Amino acid sequence: METFTLNAIRVIQNIPPGKVMTYGQIAAHSGSPRGARQVARLLHSMSAKYGLPWHRVVNAAGVISIQDKEHHLMQKELLQSEGVEFSGAKIDLRRFRFDPGEDRI
């Protein structure tokens, strides 16, 4: 069995530009439907190390969950540069959420 972390890393790397995934989605696709917090811990610990597109990960409300103001702003800028639109502080997940395999709906 591959670790949840490595699995989550793969899922995150599969998020295409201009789309976002929630922590819960990533956890579900990594084998732990309730493991959203593990995704959070993972990104907090090694987002930069693994070269992950960490900016494409937001919470279930479509809001950037980072507390660090600098990183929070950075994520918003990166997403906007990829074409993601913000409705105030929120992203319209109905339009920008990415679901592997659900793309033909």
Alpha carbon dihedral 101, 14, 9, 68, in 10-degree steps, equals: -110
Look at strands 86-87 and 57-58 and give their pairing: unpaired
Asked if 44 touches DNA (CB under 7 A), the answer is yes
| Pair of tokens at residue 11 | 């899922």
Binding-site member from 9, 47, 76, 91 for DNA (CB under 7 A): 47
Shortest Cβ 91–DNA spacing (Å): 12
Comparing CA positions, the residue from 38, 34, 39, 44 lying closest to residue 12 is: 39
Binding-site member from 9, 15, 39, 91 for DNA (CB under 7 A): 39
Shortest Cβ 86–DNA spacing (Å): 15
Asked if 74 touches DNA (CB under 7 A), the answer is no
Looking at the chain, the number of H-run helices and the number of E-run strands are 5, 4
Binding-site member from 61, 73, 77, 95 for DNA (CB under 7 A): 61
Binding footprint of DNA on the chain (CB under 7 A): 3-5, 22-25, 32, 34-47, 54, 57, 59-61, 65-67, 71, 75
